[in-house]
């Protein structure tokens, strides 16, 4: 039987909820995020039992979240599993190439994927990222340096970037 584990984490920017199977993190998001409920429903399909407990993936995540919010972790190592379309998965894989303390525009993300005319599709896929922080969609901003398009809220996006040493005015 497919087992799904879930755990909540209190962070300086609000409560986050994670779902993982035995091998990988499937969902990490702020519970008040725009798509949280939808993502939670998508992830829980196909799993027979949902346990509110730790497993090795969630224990590692807890340790890494704590270190990240203390400014001591610049790259997550928790294993992840993407659930989405092939295009979305490519977008999310590209997000992992944006290092801690860096940012790029949606256009430059589309360019890096060799899909320069797909900037809207890239932005939409970013908004559907189910692995907040671990897959750093908060590091993608508008072409004019505006903090736009973050399902967790623009203020939270600004706080995450500031934690990483990036301060942009909006």
Q: Which two tokens stand for residue 160?
A: 């995450």
Helix, strand, coil percentages in the chain from 3-state DSSP, rounded to 5 = 40, 20, 45
Count CA atoms within 13 Å of residue 122 on its CB side.
25
Let me know: does 25 contact 79? Beta carbons within 8 Å.
yes
Distance of alpha carbon 110 from alpha carbon 60, whole angstroms: 31
Burial class (CB in 10 A: 0-12, 13-18, 19+), 106: buried
Question: Which of 113, 125, 116 lies closest to 149 in space, CA to CA?
Answer: 125
132 given a catalytic annotation: no
137, 140, 147, 158: which is the annotated catalytic residue?
Answer: 137
Question: What is the set of active-site residues?
Answer: 137
């Amino acid at each position: 039987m497919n087992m799904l584990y879930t755990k909540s984490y209190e962070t300086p920017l609000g409560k986050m909820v994670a779902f993982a199977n035995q091998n990988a993190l499937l969902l990490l998001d702020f519970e008040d995020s725009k798509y949280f409920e939808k993502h939670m429903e998508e992830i829980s399909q196909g799993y027979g039992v949902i346990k509110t407990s730790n497993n090795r993936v969630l224990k590692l995540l807890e340790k890494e979240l704590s270190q990240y919010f203390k400014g001591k972790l610049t790259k997550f190592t928790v294993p992840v599993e993407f659930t989405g379309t092939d295009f979305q998965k490519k977008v999310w894989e590209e997000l992992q190439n944006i290092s801690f303390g860096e940012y790029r525009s949606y256009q430059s993300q589309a360019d890096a994927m060799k899909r320069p005319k797909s900037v809207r599709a890239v932005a939409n896929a970013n908004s559907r990222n189910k692995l907040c922080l671990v897959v750093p969609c908060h590091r993608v901003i508008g072409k004019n340096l505006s903090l736009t398009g973050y399902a967790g809220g623009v203020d939270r996006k600004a706080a995450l970037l500031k934690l990483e040493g990036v301060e942009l005015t909006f």
